[in-house]
Chain A
Amino acid sequence: MSYFFRLWLHEAKRGASSLTLAVLGSVVCFGLFSRLGKTPEEQMLVPLILVLLLPVVWGVVGSYLSFSSEYNNKRDLLLRSLPCHAFYLVLAKFMWTATCSMILLFLIPIFAPVFYDSKMTKWLQLSSGWITYGVCWSFFSSLGMAAAILGRSSGKYVTLTSGAIILGLSVVWFLLATPAAGIETLGAWTLPMPIFIGVGVTPITFPIFSTGMLIGLLIVSSLVLERQDA
């Protein structure tokens, strides 16, 4: 277990600066973009659509990095030579992203009133959505890392298979969880998405994730909009 904490600490040290940047960037972007909308629904949808584009951009950049620089491969070599099972790496990664989601949970409501006239209660309600989102996303991104690590240890078929499973799971999750939560929560859930992608996924799984997210969100938003029209 002590290996696990060391890994967690290592991930935290490494990710702290990028997390801070991502949190600030997302809060500011979301706040600014939400001003573009007039009705509350529009205020949620505009940033939603913008945020949707980010994973795609990052997917392209990420895959470019992973194939052009060998950086990811090198990092994997370092982590895989550690005397602990890949499971611990995955668990540490998961705990780290879960920690990020907790930090967000406390941070975003503090910034929110600056951009919205809404009451705190509404934001707290949304926050409960985030924590679900954060933990679930951590889970998926950990799976992504597991796929990358185990895949490198066992070959490309394992990577592809686990990638496909993750893709399927994330689509299913979006289909099941999001419509039940409603449009406001959807918007709120989407907000920290780029952050989680940024801290949680290795470049090799970027494209898989981004595609999954995009498909999932498109389906879900059309479902939600349909329900609202009715």
Chain B
Amino acid sequence: MIQVNQLGKKYGQTTVLQDVSFQLPQGQFLGLLGVNGAGKSTLIKILAGLTPPSQGSVGWANKIRFDKAAVSYMPEMDHFYTHWLAKDAFSFHADFFAMNKQRFLDALDFLNVPLHKQFSQLSKGNRTRMRLAIALAREAQLFLFDEPLSGIDPFARQEILRALAVEFRCEDASYILATHQILEAEALFDRVLVLKSGKTLLEGQAETIRLQWGNSILEAIRSAAKE
């Protein structure tokens, strides 16, 4: 169980996150939703241990120390070295993290990533796929995906969602997917957290929110934003 309490983040005078709290039980999938600039990336970076929060706390309820080794983080940017082949990316990460080689190879195969092309020579979609395969191959307790669907064509989006939410899902790990492709992904969430200008707009069980607002998550967000 991941427990986030009253998290806040300020850069100078600008407030990016304010009073964000949520829980994510083990094995569940959280959809982190909101428009660009809502604070999704900042929240993910705090959870990944890249940025310290200005307020509040992040912790595991089952007392496993919250450190970077337990978190697999896939940033929005193509953050790999441009000369890397898939195997280079793997060996680099294997130097620092516990990795599952079989899962990596299966993910590359499932996602059809070319093995003998350098990272810079891959298409945008394949660069995302290679980074995803690395992120999924980590033996982690928490998986964080920051906008893995942005700039990807609809068919490939489904494939990426299928890989991260079903095919290579570890049952005892928790998952957070930040996206603004809500309609495509909403059936995958156990819980959702919707941010608007750094504040919580909606938070809770996905099914409860759908029923409460009598519609899809997307419609629920629209209705909640109007209120």
Q: How far is the CB of A73 from chain B (nearest CB, A)?
A: 7
**Size category of the binding interface on chain B:** 20 to 34
Interface hub of A3, A75, A77, A155 (most chain B Cβ within 10 A) = A77
| Interface residue A74 (Cβ < 8 Å from any Cβ of B) | yes
Q: A10-B95, A155-B12, A157-B12 are in contact. Are A82 and B68 (CB under 8 A)?
A: yes
Question: Is B96 touching A82 in the complex (CB atoms < 8 A)?
Answer: yes
Measured between alpha carbons, how far is A78 from B73 in the docked complex, in Å? 10
Query: Which of B75-83, B173-181, B214-222 contacts the other chain?
Result: B75-83
- In the complex, which residue of chain A has the Cβ closest to the Cβ of B83? A14
- In the complex, which residue of chain A has the Cβ closest to the Cβ of B12? A155
Of the residues B50, B68, B77, B97, contact of A74 by C-beta under 8 Å: B77
Measured between alpha carbons, how far is A81 from B56 in the docked complex, in Å? 21
- In the complex, which residue of chain A has the Cβ closest to the Cβ of B92? A10
Chain A residues in 8 Å Cβ range of B79: 74-75, 77-78
| Interface residue B155 (Cβ < 8 Å from any Cβ of A) | no
Question: Is B75 touching A75 in the complex (CB atoms < 8 A)?
Answer: no
Q: A6-B96, A157-B12 are in contact. Are A81 and B77 (CB under 8 A)?
A: no
**Size category of the binding interface on chain A:** 20 to 34
Of the residues A10, A78, A83, A155, contact of B68 by C-beta under 8 Å: A83
| Interface residue B194 (Cβ < 8 Å from any Cβ of A) | no
List A157-210 residues whose CB lies under 8 Å from chain B.
157
| Interface residue B223 (Cβ < 8 Å from any Cβ of A) | no
| Interface residue A70 (Cβ < 8 Å from any Cβ of B) | yes
Chain B residues in 8 Å Cβ range of A153: 50-52
Measured between alpha carbons, how far is A135 from B78 in the docked complex, in Å? 34
- In the complex, which residue of chain A has the Cβ closest to the Cβ of B70? A83
Q: How far is the CB of B82 from chain A (nearest CB, A)?
A: 8
Question: Is B52 touching A154 in the complex (CB atoms < 8 A)?
Answer: yes
| Interface residue B67 (Cβ < 8 Å from any Cβ of A) | yes
Of the residues B12, B50, B81, B95, contact of A81 by C-beta under 8 Å: B50
Q: A74-B78, A74-B79 are in contact. Are A83 and B50 (CB under 8 A)?
A: no
Measured between alpha carbons, how far is A51 from B12 in the docked complex, in Å? 39
Question: Is A77 touching B75 in the complex (CB atoms < 8 A)?
Answer: yes
Measured between alpha carbons, how far is A155 from B77 in the docked complex, in Å? 19
| Interface residue A80 (Cβ < 8 Å from any Cβ of B) | yes
Q: A70-B77, A155-B12 are in contact. Are A77 and B50 (CB under 8 A)?
A: yes
Of the residues A3, A73, A74, A81, contact of B73 by C-beta under 8 Å: A81
Question: Is A83 touching B92 in the complex (CB atoms < 8 A)?
Answer: no
Chain A residues in 8 Å Cβ range of B77: 70, 73-74, 77
Measured between alpha carbons, how far is A85 from B51 in the docked complex, in Å? 12
Q: How far is the CB of A22 from chain B (nearest CB, A)?
A: 18
Measured between alpha carbons, how far is A155 from B49 in the docked complex, in Å? 15
Measured between alpha carbons, how far is A70 from B77 in the docked complex, in Å? 9
List B35-54 residues whose CB lies under 8 Å from chain A.
48-52
Chain A residues in 8 Å Cβ range of B49: 81
Chain B residues in 8 Å Cβ range of A81: 48-50, 68, 73, 75
- In the complex, which residue of chain A has the Cβ closest to the Cβ of B68? A83
Chain A residues in 8 Å Cβ range of B52: 153-154
Q: How far is the CB of A72 from chain B (nearest CB, A)?
A: 11
Measured between alpha carbons, how far is A78 from B67 in the docked complex, in Å? 16
Chain B residues in 8 Å Cβ range of A83: 67-69, 96-97
- In the complex, which residue of chain A has the Cβ closest to the Cβ of B51? A153
- B residues lining the A interface (CB < 8 Å): 11-12, 48-52, 67-69, 73, 75, 77-81, 92, 95-97
11 A-B pairs besides A74-B78, A77-B79 with CB distance below 8 A are A14-B81, A74-B79, A74-B80, A75-B81, A81-B68, A81-B73, A81-B75, A82-B96, A83-B96, A154-B52, A156-B11
A sample of 16 cross-chain residue pairs with beta-carbon separation below 8 angstroms, ordered by A number, consists of: A6-B95, A70-B77, A73-B77, A74-B77, A74-B80, A77-B75, A78-B80, A81-B48, A81-B50, A82-B68, A82-B96, A83-B68, A83-B97, A153-B50, A153-B51, A154-B52
5 smallest CB-CB distances across A and B, nearest first, come from A83-B68, A83-B69, A74-B79, A77-B79, A6-B95
